[in-house]
Structure 1
Amino acid sequence: MACETPAVTNAVTTPLRCLLCCIILLFTDIIDAKNSPSLSHASEHAMLGTLVAEFSLHREDYTQALDAYFAQSLTQNSPYLARRATRLALYQDRPLLLMQAATRWRNLAPNDAEAYFYSGVGFAYNKKITLALDSMRHAQQLGHPTDFTRIVNIAVRNDIALDQVYESLLIYTAATPTSADLRLAIGLFYQASGNVAASNHHLDKAVTFHGGNSNILELATQVYLRQGNSEGALRAMQQATDLDPYDFNQRLKYAFLASKFDRPLARRQFEFLLTLNPGHGPVVMNLALLNLQDDNYEEARKLLRHQLQINFKPDSAHYYLGQIAISDNNLSDAAHHLTHIQSPREPNKLALQLIQIETDLHRWRDAEIRVQKMKDRLHQQGTSASVQNRLALLEARLMNKQGKTQYAHDVLSYAIQQSPDASLYLQRAALARQLGDHTNREKDLLAAIQDTMPKNDAKVQAMHQLALLFATQGREHDALDLLTKAYQHAPDNTAVLDSLGWVLYRMGQIDQALGLLQDAMARQPNGRVAANLGEILWRIGRKNEATQIFRDALLETPDHEHLQETIKRLNVPLSPPHTA
């Protein structure tokens, strides 16, 4: 506690103020001593020693304070001084002095449960485990909420033989088998020994015998979690919560724990908490996120708007509302929320997302300004090549959407010079196609394929597009080779599977082609796959099957151009479906 007197001005430093206060206290004691004829010279010396200890403590010279307190505790019968020395020894990490001071405190106050507790800690740090556990046991008998697990933790951290700990714990447990604290300590011991099954057994017993002690249940939860037993952790935390169902903070801890392992349980807990305190920001936000994870967008949107109303982490609420709007294809709403984020956690990611949205909304000027601002920021701060390349792709897309195809091509050419990447080559190949530059298109696709990344979506797309180009040039074998490699890279890519089947059909491998196209149709039915599969079936005489495939596809995608063109070219007698 700081000492101040009215006579001390602000110009005087804190240590000097403390010294003046101590001198005043000393003079006060001397005056009192003159009025007390029974005061001895020894008492005056003790008083001075205590004053030195207090002054050292005020100066934050904890080492000198500890030594002074301990010396005085040996000459005076004051549990207060021994207690001061004990706590300072623990703070200073001086185990021998901790044990000595705590023992002195215990001897001076034999009925003080806290003295026995600290004595146990001191014995444990000095590897006297039997004495440590014995002191803890006395503390428990005197009513202290003793934690035997602390002794086990100290033993583990200080490489003390755990067998010694185990033997003593077994003796105590045999005497009191329903002691939750002892059971918890043995559970911790077994965890340290690597015996998870035995640890869980004793932790279960501790939870059973908790006797209303929430500390036992929370410690058990922590040990369960350390050994990966989420079920046990949730059970212990539930019992701790059931001790007082309306304890808001306890239930909040339970809800947070449940959110990691059991989302429905977590949602129920957060919903209950919301009835207790509708304006609690963390509850509102976490319940919103749980609904988002379960794709319950409408409820999440309602909670996030409420989060904005109570002004709790508005940036977070705007971000998630923006993502929901994107999933609903409501780009205007998405732009509204994302532009309201004041301090984004990932500014580059946010800026890139906004550039894409503003481009799709045809807000060309806003997107161009954002591109330039991001370029300036990246130039000043520096960033990874992937961010630079992503920005170049979005700028090229923005320019191309405005009809500035050559400008977009130049943007990608500059980016490729700075940091070649498959995605840049792939996009420039698409622009080369628009410009009618088929030679450079093929070169860019080949460059994308030669990307050193073992798995790359752009690389697979480049293989696919180049294969289609080869197929139109009559180079089916080259196309088949590329598509086979693309399929090996991305076996779940139905577009590659569809093209592979079509090229095999053109090469006369009908059965294999049908198998691949039917597989693609089963995985992800769409108009293009239906058109190719239907055409093959039609040409090999299985017209009824082909007709049914065409009819079903038209019900799903009546405006699909490739599907419509195929049906018309084959002269399939099929009318488009009519809607009521």
Structure 2
Amino acid sequence: MNLYSLLFSTLLIAPLYSGLTLAAAERLPAEQPVERIHLRSGELPEVSLSADILYRILVAEVAVQQGDYEAASQTFLSLSRDTLDPRFAQRAFQFSMADRNLSRGLRAAKEWSVLAPNDPEAKATALALEASTGNTAGLAQALYQRIESARDKEQAVVQALGIVSKMVDPRLAFDVLDQAMPEDVRTLAISHLALADAAWAAQRSERALLEARQALLRAPGSEAAAQRVLEYGLQVNADEALNEAQEFARQYPESRNLHLLLINRLVDNKRYNDALAVVRSMQRRNPEDFDLLYTEAEINTRAERFTEAKALLVEFISVQSQRRRSVRDQASNALANISDARLALVQIAEQQNDYAEAIQQLNLIEEPSLRFQATVHRAVLEARAGDMRRAQRTLDMIGTQDKQEQAVVALTRATVYRQAGRTDSAVEVLERADRELPDTPELKYDLAMLYERQGRIDDFERLMKQVIDLQPADANAYNALGYTYADQNRKLDEAQDLLEQALELEPDNPYILDSVGWYLYRVGDNQAALEYLKRSYEQLPEADVAAHLGEVFWSKGLKDEALRIWSEAFSLDPDNSTLLETLKRFDVQLP
């Protein structure tokens, strides 16, 4: 091995590259792990390590560490062309995709496949990216031939699914996989499972369900197929999907994963008695499965049957305490299970406004990793119970282990003051914490929101921009600043840029959808505003969103709809300031 190859090998295992996988670098929708290619040494070029190559490698490394994927990918691409080393082209591809630059990624992938002609992953990656530009015929044909000639058809189908998952457009990915599947291979259950998953990623729910059912028909006892029939069927006909899953559970009583998934989905659909029936059938078959006690308690909690839930949790704690006494803590998860049960009892007590019981359960938690969290939570509950002095004393006695815990204590202390109406004291706490921990975005964010409440808009803007600089991938600061500009009807161009960035990061976040809708209303696009606000209200039926949605309805002349939405919100939150201000502005008196 020459000096250049030795350096490259060292770099591949250096901390700078630790944890870096192709899937992580690409940030593609499928998010499936992809094996890194390791080429045989005989396939590597013999290139001497010059000062220029060393310098460029180091420049690319530094760019990666700084998050400058554009510079890193361009440098690696130029290195691959100068050295003919496919590993540089592979890195150029990875960081081009991290930079979301499809054209550069395609150039890098083609370079990689040229430099490593015997590497099927390199060729498949190039074809997958080319297919993303609309040229799908080449990839579909290559995958078809690959599956047809493979001895292990099932493995070939799985590999094909992994390859198309690299495509940027999941709809094209499904079309390619569908075209690549030979007729004789379609008799395999795995083929229908792969098509079901690809169709689901392409948001083709009905086709995903059809393929999942075909897989189950080919392999009647397949738990994986039954799970997909349930999950994908919920989007088509929820009751039918749940009933089918219940029938499968009855026929195949040992399908534990399907049973647990079914329980969760029944609870999501508020079919609590059906969920309990599934749990009890599992308990009859496995009376020693004490985890099912906890599951039963969770179902009763969701159904707000708190008496039954508490009794089950107490029984679960008793069983786990016996396990703990009979087995050393290090060899058992009993202590963790007991702590989980006590936290569940805390949740129930809070829902019943029984703060004394909640605090008592927190005090009983012994799990070392939860003690800090439990103590902080105790302070919050003490404040809610009206004992501000005790809450502050509890926070004073916490011994913090690091800067993160210091920040949590400061944020909690400020929350306690804010909830008591002492905004100025909360601001003082966070200002002091921000001076002591100047690079903590959570402190700056909460402090900025308090400044906005005080009307200190310049300070609010300054801190929110600092948060964005510290956490450019966090949607909250973009949303908060963009919404504030829209709400104040100023800097609307900047508001648009901020909200577009927030929406790109979290496209289904109901708070962001509300902000975007409110911005669109401000710029006069009432129809688009209505669509975003409706989507937000479906997920987040809160008074602030209702106030905005009702105002857009009113402005479009749909006053009955506006009154209906406002009435719903008023019944839930009659003291909401945004709603009350909106009603006052339109001189509306609700019945």
TM-score, structure 1 as length reference = 0.46
Name the structure, 1 or 2, with higher relative contact order (CA <8 Å, separation 6+). Answer: 2
TM-score, structure 2 as length reference = 0.46
> Whose radius of gyration is greater, 1 or 2?
1
